[in-house]
């Protein structure tokens, strides 16, 4: 089996990476940064997000697993003390896989050009500096004209991240859907938005169309890019999914409890 180990870059994570590579050297495992079959991320959820974007072109061929060298993460759920045990489980192939939905973001520009991105957590859209005003369409029909700081579209697993901070609901990753949440919408006697998160199933799409400004700051997880001359931004539940290696039972709601409730 071909594998790769990525690190957050701090001393603790880098040392653990070298230790794990040393463990794998004792077995018939090939270290391959170009075409790995399993990606081991050491650091936190941010490190795993970076690994996802690095290997998203191999989603049908790669499985991810995360080790946290800081706080427990939703994607990085193994402890450094369990590294040797994890290596043995990988070598012996004693694991199942869990598939998580992804978000597809299609940005169309003037001149019929477009770019497509995938996100594991969420995509956000904000103004490049002026007022943020967009028409929101659901399945091609006008839903509302949004005025505010921005909008966030989240995957189910990403609902525990920025979406939660915006007051969105938490969704189990087995649900193939996406969630739209508002950032400081303007609501008064003149302007109205729904003022509530929207959960949309996989056969629905959401399109954002600029009203005035056509330059937007769009993020996909930790990556933020300024896009100019935007004609529309469309969100769909992606056909692709990300695969995570599961070596033991660690229910999603227990992760939620351990991350946000248990002291």
Q: Could you give the domains of the chain?
A: 1-94+246-259 (3.40.50.10330), 101-238 (2.60.200.30)
Model pLDDT, residue 90: 94
pLDDT at position 263 over 70: no
Could you tell me the pLDDT band of residue 224, with boundaries at 50, 70 and 90? Answer: very high
Q: Which residues of 147-163 are buried (b: 16+ CB within 10 A; e: fewer)?
A: bbebbbbbbbbbbbbbb
What mean pLDDT is predicted for residues 52-70?
Answer: 96
Asked if pLDDT for residue 153 goes beyond 80, the answer is yes
Distance CA 103, CA 239 (A): 9
pTM over 0.75: yes
The reply, when asked if residue 37 is annotated as ligand binding, is no
What average pLDDT is seen over the chain?
95
**213 is known as an active-site residue:** no
45 labeled binding residue:
yes
Residue indicated by tokens 């070598």? 91
Residue 87 is predicted with a pLDDT of 94
Q: Is 192 annotated as a binding residue?
A: no
pLDDT, tens only, 36-49? 999 999 999 999 99
The pLDDT value given to residue 71: 79
The active-site residue out of 45, 77, 221, 236 is 45
Residues 6+ apart with CB under 8 A from 38: 1, 2, 3, 4, 62, 63, 64, 65, 90, 245
CB 214 within 8 A of CB 230: yes
147 is in an annotated binding site: yes
């Amino acid at each position: 089996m071909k594998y790769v180990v990525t690190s957050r870059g701090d001393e603790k994570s880098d040392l653990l990476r070298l230790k794990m590579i040393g463990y794998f050297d004792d077995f018939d495992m090939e270290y391959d940064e170009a075409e790995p079959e399993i990606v081991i991320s050491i650091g936190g959820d941010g490190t795993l997000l970076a690994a996802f974007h690095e290997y998203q072109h191999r989603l049908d061929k790669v499985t991810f697993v995360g080790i946290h060298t800081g706080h427990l993460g939703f994607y990085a759920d193994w402890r450094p003390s369990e590294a040797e045990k994890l290596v043995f489980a990988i070598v012996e192939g004693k694991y199942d896989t869990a598939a998580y939905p992804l978000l597809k973001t299609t940005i169309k520009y003037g001149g019929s050009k477009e770019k497509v991105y995938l996100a594991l957590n969420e995509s956000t859209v904000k103004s490049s500096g002026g007022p943020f005003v967009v028409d929101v369409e659901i399945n091609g029909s006008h839903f509302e004209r949004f005025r505010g700081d921005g909008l966030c579209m989240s995957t189910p697993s990403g609902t525990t991240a920025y979406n939660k901070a915006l007051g969105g609901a938490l969704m189990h990753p087995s649900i193939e859907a996406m969630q739209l949440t508002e950032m400081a919408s303007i609501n008064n006697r003149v302007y109205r938005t729904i003022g509530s998160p929207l959960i949309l199933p996989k056969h629905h799409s959401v399109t954002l169309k600029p009203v005035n400004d056509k330059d937007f700051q769009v993020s996909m997880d930790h990556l933020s890019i300024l896009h100019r001359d935007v004609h529309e931004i469309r969100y769909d539940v992606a056909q692709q999914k990300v695969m995570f290696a599961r070596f033991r039972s660690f229910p999603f709601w227990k992760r939620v409890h351990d991350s946000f409730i248990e002291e």
